[in-house]
Structure 1
């Protein structure tokens, strides 16, 4: 029987989503031949953690579902043992990359990957705490319905999708990813800029385009950025077996098989989008995936609107723009490498990926300095809290430039040791969580 991990990393109160997550697990166990470990990696405040524990303890679970709810102390203890068992050099550095003291979207998902291996799960299905599910005729529309196609070969998956769009010769490759997008609020909380001044919105969002992008390419990118699947609600299932376009899926609505045990996500701190790397790797290596239309409903939580939350979010957005100097280079080189990034069985050459990441670190930072100056100028024109943030940004240019480059060095180091971590976690087993 297939055993999978339905994972929810969170640092906020999210009791309603925990209940819905359990409903999705129940749906999967009821309709498919699977066992599910519901993994909640909880970095929330003690009062919220306590409420989450109470909710999870009272869920009406059916056989085949296991709940694993871990605070950061429990995660840290497990990681320390795994790192020790893996006999990794610089153990403290690796522990910090796995569980940094600052918010990291990549690191929290990496922890889910490692712990899922210990739990004996062959795939990881990720949701977010600021999302909910669509409904049709009173029934929730769970993405896991399509995600359970992963783990088969492309040949075996053909009869489980609506459409097939794969190159000849792909049938023996594994289906390593399934995903959809979202409807509702924008994935990046900047709609207020779009409403106030579309041209300033363009100036800001176009900062994530490659430095040599044409004006037309920038306009096209801005038009489709952060809007997900739009507003059209779910009406009927559609699914495509294909090499999935990373722009068509969201990390709140994603599942990975095998590849998450071969290459990690960038552990960059205070950087939105740092958890999207594997989507690009799957695409560039030409690995099959399933693109479906069971889109999650995204919403924005209140803490982003506070002064502290606003400043924190703007920093994460800024660091996202800076990361693109390096990631565009990596994606372009991975795209050129194409199928040479993997073997005939679909396993990715992690060393080749790490080499490309390290080469990106040789890029000059002029393009990023230009990004910082343009962002500051746009925010000053907006005034108010945006202008205040621009003033704090002006004195941090050198630090932010250095951090963006250091993030890539950290990523390469983590790639180097990743498979050793996964093996050690698999050997450790689920005992520490029971």
Structure 2
């Protein structure tokens, strides 16, 4: 029986989402005959975790669905044992990169990858706490339908399970490495209010994540395509395309990844940085691994705390750090795109050494562009006024620290890639948890 990991990392109340994901797990068992490890990585406060535990306990018992609900103490215990078993030269640093004190989208997903390896899973399927499923005739539209139908199959065999095959026959013998779709609803990055307040400022703020030297036309196209997901049309019928994956229309709330990808290269563990969990999208596509892009889009929404007070400040800081991270990620993306299929070995497996070397070189990139990004972000937020101007005041004294952190983040990523292979092997010999339901 194939084991798969359906995971929900969360730090907020989401009992309804847990119930919905439990239904998706049950559907996967019935439809595909797999064993689903429903893995909830819970960083919420104790009272919220208790509500999550109650939601998991209330799920209908389904043979083949195994629930794992791990708080940060349980995650840390697993990680500490795996790190020690891996023989890492700097175990304290590695543990910090896997479970940092601050929020990290990449690190929480890396923990899911390691726990999936410990559970013997062939794939990881990630959902988010601030999302739900579309309905068709009153029934939820589960993305795992496409993920399990094709993920890991040789592309030539997966072609029978899609509605369109655009893949170059040269890639037909490679495995399907990524299956995903996007979302409908609110923007994936919570800056929609800026667009409503001042479309020109919105353009300038979003254009800041364009590569150095991008033309005005390229910036306009980037702004038009960014953070909008799958549009607004509701799901009515399946569309699934086999090709190199359309990574601009695949989001981390709606993705399945084959173990041969995430067991070779982790995600950047940057803290307080949105978008740090999208690196493998680029790697799969640039390495010429096949993927399936479908239209079972998740419904995305935002919880109110991101728009007022400390929640607003924290989220806008994450956006600023995202912009700074691109200075170092774009050179890596460029290297991967240039390398193409050379990123794979003879068995179509990713060569992690090339990625680590590129990340290390990128750390030496001149910071001038990031100085410009911070200055432009300051100008934009002050033009908006109100809470955005207040945030600009908060951001100004943090500039030097943020510039240093962005460089340290790419250095940490290179170090984590170096340690990743031994850590994955160690995780496979480490008990994931001792009380699955």
Task: Sort the TM-score into its range (normalised by shorter chain).
Answer: over 0.9
Match of 1:388 among 387, 390, 402: 390
How far off its partner does 1:431 sit? Answer: 5.6
What is the SS of the residue equivalent to 2:102? Answer: coil
Q: Specify the alignment match of 2:60 in structure 1.
A: 60
Cα offset, 1:433, TM superposition? 4.5
What's the offset of the Cα at 1:359?
0.9
Conserved? CA contact 1:179–1:292, under 8 Å:
yes
Q: Which moved more, 1:53-62 or 1:329-338?
A: 53-62
Q: Quote the residue 1:295 is aligned against.
A: 297
CA 1:53–1:40: 2 relative to 1, 3 Å: same
* Superposed counterparts of 1:26-425, under 5 Å: 26-148=26-148, 149-257=150-258, 258-425=260-427
The alpha-carbon deviation at position 302 of structure 1 amounts to: 1.4
Provide the rounded CA distance (Å) in 2 between the counterparts of 1:164 and 1:193.
39
**What is the distance in 1 between the residues matched to 2:115 and 2:432?**
8
Gaps of at least 5 residues in structure 1 are none
C-alpha separation between the residues in 1 aligned to 2:307 and 2:219?
A: 28
CA deviations on 1:31-85 (whole Å, 9 max, x unpaired) are: 1121100000000011000111111112112100000000000000010000011
Cα shift readout 1:347-398 (whole Å, capped 9, x = no counterpart): 0000000001111111100000000000000000000110011111111111
Secondary structure at the aligned position of 1:187 is classed as coil
1:176 touches 1:259 (CA, 8 Å); kept in 2? yes
Are the aligned partners of 1:13 and 1:44 in contact in 2 as well (CA < 8 Å)? yes
Q: In structure 1, what is the Cα distance between the partners aligned to 2:273 and 2:435?
A: 30
Deviations 1:7-48 (A, max 9, x none): 000000000000000000011111112110000000001100
Shift of 1:344: 2.8
Structure 1 CA distance for aligned equivalents of residues 396 and 78 of structure 2 = 40
Q: CA deviation at 1:429?
A: 4.0
| Secondary structure of 2:76's aligned partner | helix
Q: Is the 8 A contact 1:3 1:35 kept in 2?
A: yes
TM-score by length of 1: 0.99
Q: Distance in 2 between matches of 1:363 and 1:62?
A: 52
Evaluate the alpha carbon distance shift between residue 381 and residue 38 of structure 1 in structure 2; reply closer, same or farther with a 3 A threshold: same
C-alpha displacement of 1:151: 1.1
Cα distance between partner residues in 1 of 2:232 and 2:435: 40
2:23 corresponds to 1:23: yes
Distance 2:348 2:294 in 1: 22
CA contact (8 A) 1:78 1:432 kept: no
Cα deviation code 1:101-143 (max 9, x no counterpart)? 0000000000000001111111000000000000000110000
Change in 2 beyond 3 A, CA 1:430/1:270 = closer
TM-score normalised to the size of structure 2?
0.98
Structure 2 unaligned residues grouped into runs of 5+:
none
Which one is further off, 164-173 or 284-293? 164-173
Counterpart-to-counterpart distance in 2, 1:69 and 1:142: 22
User: For residues 403 and 329 of structure 2, what CA distance do their matches in structure 1 show?
Assistant: 14
Show the counterpart of 2:14: 14
> Which segment drifts farther, 170-179 or 260-269?
170-179
Deviations along 1:319-361, one digit per CA (max 9) or x if unpaired, are: 0000011111111110000000011322000000000111111
| Secondary structure in 2 matching 1:395 | helix
Q: Distance in 1 between matches of 2:229 and 2:178?
A: 18
Separation (CA, whole Å) in 2 of partners of 1:115 and 1:423: 11
Shift of 1:306: 2.3
Aligned equivalents of 1:108, 1:309: Cα separation in 2: 19
What RMSD in Å do the two structures reach over aligned CA positions?
0.8
Partner Cα distance (2:10, 2:140) in 1: 22
Question: What number of residue pairs does the alignment pair up?
Answer: 434
**Take 1:175 and 1:139, find their aligned partners in 2: how far apart are those partners?**
28
* Matched-pair contact (CA < 8 Å) for 1:120–1:429: no
